[in-house]
């Protein structure tokens, strides 16, 4: 470790203005100097954002936009909030914002984005992160939410207890405290990421297929049973992958689900409702691949996958 390396977060770059990007961008914009929070987007997106304007819980978002080719000082913290389909393009777009001391967190769903970003910029810059407990709904240029949820971040490798990792985690912890962003540090992020993945596999896909909302899977009935069955397929695969999720983990994430606004809708439901392609490959697609790898049947996720794909084929 470079003993002279200092992590202090004063500048933040966000890429991706979906629900999470707007939620956290708007919150940070109210507590940071305008120039210190940069929203990375291409010229066409920036033009659309400036024309249509973006609103978060009725307040207009005042964002400082930058195109990927604009010269700038490296960011102290970069937050990925794109959808999985846009991840590779986003990785290419942040290049000018990455420096030796830059810390990168990804709030994407799934269990693969950290490695994809780390392959380009180095895993030493990556903290593993999960966004959980928010119920944001984005319709056009309007974002609404009741629960901000929290960001959970920390160590993705239980064998890595380096001082440098500790300093990076500490810097983000202190910054989020200063910005009053609900958060928690977790030293076993692999298990937490798999837990969130398990929840998304169940909730996102089930609610999308039944064309419902959170309330439909918060109460007893066939949709909730189907959701839990899909989640249990992830538990079985997690054991094969050395993560070892349990029924206790399932109950923890069902508890998180129970806190959400019953009228809210997960991102996949919002995508299909707007006739956008979803992250089904990230959820059921991953489950099916792991099932094939370990020779384990995953019929519930197969049915969900087939249903969602057939819907998308109508676009």
Percentage of the chain with pLDDT > 90? 88
Mean pLDDT of 4-32: 94
Confirm whether 177 is domain-assigned: yes
Confirm whether 5 is domain-assigned: no
Residues 38 and 179 in one domain: yes
Mean pLDDT of 157-181: 88
Q: Which of 132, 155, 187 is the last residue of a domain?
A: 187
Confirm whether 2 is domain-assigned: no
Residue 221: pLDDT over 50: yes
Res 160: pLDDT: 67
Residues 243 and 225 in one domain: yes
Domain of residue 264, residue span: 190-312
Long-range contacts of residues 45-53, Cβ cutoff 8 Å, at least 24 apart:
45/17, 49/17, 49/141, 52/140, 52/141, 53/141
Q: Which of 187, 213, 229 is the last residue of a domain?
A: 187
Residues 143 and 291 in one domain: no
Residue 59: pLDDT over 80: yes
Residues 170 and 213 in one domain: no
Mean pLDDT of 10-19: 96
Res 247: pLDDT: 97
- What's the whole-number average pLDDT of the chain? 94
Count the domains in the chain. 2
Residues 52 and 180 in one domain: yes
Residue 4: pLDDT over 90: no
Residue 169's pLDDT band (cuts 50, 70, 90) = very high
Mean pLDDT of 251-256: 96
Res 281: pLDDT: 94
Residues 75 and 176 in one domain: yes
Res 1: pLDDT: 45
pLDDT digits 0-9 by tens, 60-82: 999 999 999 999 999 999 999 99
Residues 21 and 124 in one domain: yes
Environment class of residue 185 by beta-carbon count within 10 Å: exposed (0-12), middle (13-18) or buried (19+)? middle
pLDDT digits 0-9 by tens, 92-151: 999 999 999 999 999 998 898 999 999 999 999 999 999 999 988 898 999 999 989 999
Least confident of 120-134, 151-165, 219-233: 151-165
Whether pTM > 0.85 for this model: the answer is yes
Confirm whether 36 is domain-assigned: yes
- CATH code: domain of residue 24: 3.40.50.720
């Amino acid at each position: 470790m470079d003993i002279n390396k200092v992590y202090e977060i004063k500048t933040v770059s966000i890429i991706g203005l979906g629900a999470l990007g707007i939620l956290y961008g708007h919150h940070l914009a109210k507590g940071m100097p305008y120039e210190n929070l940069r929203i990375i987007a291409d010229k066409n997106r920036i033009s659309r954002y400036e024309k249509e304007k973006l609103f978060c819980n009725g307040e207009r978002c005042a964002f400082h936009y930058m195109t990927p080719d604009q010269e700038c000082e490296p960011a102290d913290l970069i937050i990925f909030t794109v959808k999985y389909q846009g991840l590779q393009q986003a990785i290419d777009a942040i290049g000018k914002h990455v420096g030796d001391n830059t810390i990168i967190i990804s709030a994407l769903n799934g269990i693969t984005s950290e490695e994809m970003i780390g392959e380009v910029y180095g895993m030493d810059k990556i903290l593993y992160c999960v966004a959980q407990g928010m119920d944001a709904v984005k319709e056009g240029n309007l974002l609404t939410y009741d629960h901000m949820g929290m960001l959970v971040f920390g160590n993705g490798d239980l064998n890595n207890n380096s001082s440098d990792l500790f300093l990076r985690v500490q810097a983000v912890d202190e910054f989020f405290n200063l910005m009053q962003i609900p958060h928690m540090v977790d030293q076993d992020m692999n298990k937490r990421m798999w837990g969130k993945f398990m929840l998304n596999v169940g909730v996102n896909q089930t609610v999308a297929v039944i064309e419902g909302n959170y309330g439909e899977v918060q109460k007893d009935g066939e949709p909730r049973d189907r959701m839990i069955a899909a989640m249990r397929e992830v538990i079985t695969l997690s054991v094969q992958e050395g993560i070892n999720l349990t029924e206790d983990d399932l109950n923890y994430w069902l508890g998180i689900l129970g806190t959400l606004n019953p009228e809210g809708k997960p991102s996949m439901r919002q995508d299909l409702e707007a006739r956008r392609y979803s992250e089904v490959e990230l959820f059921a697609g991953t489950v099916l691949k792991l099932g094939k790898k370990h020779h384990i049947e995953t019929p519930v996720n197969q049915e969900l996958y087939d249903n969602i794909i057939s819907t998308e084929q109508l676009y």
